[in-house]
Amino acid sequence: MAASKKKRTGARAAVVVVLCLVLVCVVAAAVALGLVSRRVKSFAGGASFSLDYQITSTAAEEPALYKVLAQFGGTSGRVDGQYTPEALQLELYPQASGSSQPLTRLYISKDETLYDAGQLYRTLCSSITDNHPLAGVLIPEWNMGSYISQTQLASLLGVDDTATSLQSMNDFQLDLKKIKKAQPENAKAGYLYFRLETDDTAADSPVLTLGVEKSGLLRAASPAVHILLDIPAHGIHTELTGTVTPAAPTLTAPTSRMQDSDIASLVQLRQTVESVVQFVQGAASGTQSAS
């Protein structure tokens, strides 16, 4: 009888230990989930970032925006920026240029996409004068509003304005209910990947996969990330690596904007720059021949 009683006591003790272990695991899981939830919420309100990027075309014919970037060597480089749930602000630094000045800036809200054409023009002129100092006295200064809208840029390029709009980037929200675990083909070792879902069910809607380094997910102030962005409507795939830091930026739409009447002037300005480049190149060739 005594032996039987000891067995029952030992069994009850074992059950208590198991239940305690289960309880500890449940509490630990709840704490971890709470930490992840708070971490996600800290990024959902806004952040700043610095990322290396590589853009490739996935279309049979290179899309309009990709052609513009390729013309200026901007399909790879670094992108610095900030975002809030309402807007996104970017600065592109092409790898090829090595310049401390951005190629251009973008402002993307749910209503519009704006491109800093003035900065793009100044970058172009700087590149020209570096190679042909004489051109500096011949190239006109920029005297219009700096930012061009998606509709104005589409008109300038002769394409539909859907080819120049990036508002769909603002459809992605860091909501735990809309984050699904994923495993992309080119996943990095030691990273945890999530697919961010949106309410857009169209076949050509953007697809965003966010990878976060596991070791820094909860501890690092600026965790390392690996981001994969596909935009079928534009025929481009973008891969980004770098760090993201929670922040509360205040983003406002640029006030220096081009007027619709400036588009014709912009076309003429581009033609003038092309003529100046042809002139100085011809003059340089003539000088070299004479020598």
The token pair at 200 is 């857009």
Structure-model confidence comparison of residues 218 and 23, the more confident one? 218
pLDDT exceeds cutoff 50 at 59: yes
Residue carrying structure tokens 């400036």: 262
- Indicate if the pLDDT at residue 45 is higher than 90: no
Q: Which pLDDT belongs to residue 123?
A: 85
Mapping DSSP onto H, E and C, the string for the chain reads CHHHHHHHHHHHHHHHHHHHHHHHHHHHHHHHHHHHHHHHHHHHCCEEEEEEEEEEECCCCCCHHHHHHHHCCCCEEEEEEEECCCEEEEEEEECCCCCCCCCEEEEEECCCEEEEHHHHHHHHHHHHHHHCHHHHHCCCCCCCCCEEEHHHHHHHHCCCHHHCCCHHHHHCCCCHHHEEEECCCCCCCCEEEEEECCCCCCCCCCEEEEEEEHHHCCCCCCCEEEEEEEECCCCEEEEEEEEEEECCCCCCCCCCECCCCHHHHHHHHHHHHHHHHHHHHHHHHHHHHHC
Q: What is the reported pLDDT for 70?
A: 86
The per-residue pLDDT of the chain, averaged, comes to 77
Tell me the pTM: 0.76
Token readout for 181 is 């675990």
Q: Helix 262-290 crosses helix 117-131 at what angle (to 10 degrees)?
A: 10
| Degrees, nearest 5: CA angle 63-67-68 | 125
Burial of 282 (0-12, 13-18, 19+ CB in 10 A): exposed
In contact, 242 and 51? CB cutoff 8 Å: yes
Percent of the chain with pLDDT strictly greater than 90: 18
* CA–CA gap between residue 80 and residue 88 (Å, rounded): 11
**Per-residue pLDDT averaged across 269-275, rounded?**
81
Residue 174, pLDDT score: 54
| Residue-level pLDDT at 106 | 92
- Check whether 62 has a pLDDT greater than 80: yes
Q: Which of 66-75, 111-120, 211-220, 271-280 has the highest mean pLDDT?
A: 111-120
Question: What is the structure's pLDDT at 165?
Answer: 79
Is 60 exceeded by the pLDDT of residue 16?
A: no
